[in-house]
Homo-oligomer: A and B are copies of this chain.
Amino acid sequence: MLAAMLIREATPHDWPGMWAFMEGIVRAGETFSWDRDTTESQAGRMWFPEPPGRTFVAVNAEGTVLGTANSVRNHGGGAAHIASASFMVDPRHSGRGVGRALGEHVLEQARKDGFRAMQFNAVVETNTRAVALWRSLGLDVMTTLPAGFHHPAHGYVGLHIMYRRL
């Protein structure tokens, strides 16, 4: 954990600092099920969902964005109590607890917002660090869609659906 890291709601002012590392993650296409040619404006619209969706940033003492997350309602109607969330951490700041802090925050906020469960729809099985992190935060791999993800280096790999009650 960084000595001074703040998780707060993101604002449009944060976007340049967010996209600065998000773009590389999107273009790599190894962990995220977004089109690799997603434009900055498309990404901005997707990453700032309408309420009850939320967008968060993790910033250090200098105000640098280290990582970001968003949370959304995963379904409507009778399944509206299930949230989902997505996470991107600047690779230059990985391994320092940014993802864990964002994950804990998102789960806690979703609970406060009245959601009863959190579902991650598409966790690439080769993204082992993320899978281990989400497991440690109480999410279970409910199923793995066989050949659910075409990894640019590994070819077709499994796509986990992870879930926990809140």
Instruction: Determine the chain B residues whose CB is within 8 A of the CB of A75 once the complex forms.
Output: 33, 121-122
**Cα distance A29–B34 in the bound complex, in angstroms:** 30
A82 to chain B, nearest CB (A): 6
User: How many subunits of this chain does the assembly comprise?
Assistant: 2
The residue of chain B having its C-beta at the shortest distance from the C-beta of A26 within the complex is: B77
Please indicate which of the listed interface residues A35, A76, A163 has the most CB atoms of chain B within 10 Å of its own CB: A76
Task: Determine if A78 and B29 form an interchain contact, defined as CB atoms under 8 angstroms apart.
Answer: yes
Residue of B nearest to A46 (CB): B76
Give residues in A with beta carbon < 8 Å to B.
Answer: 26, 29-30, 32-36, 38, 75-82, 116-117, 119, 121-122, 124, 142-143, 145-152, 159, 161, 163, 165
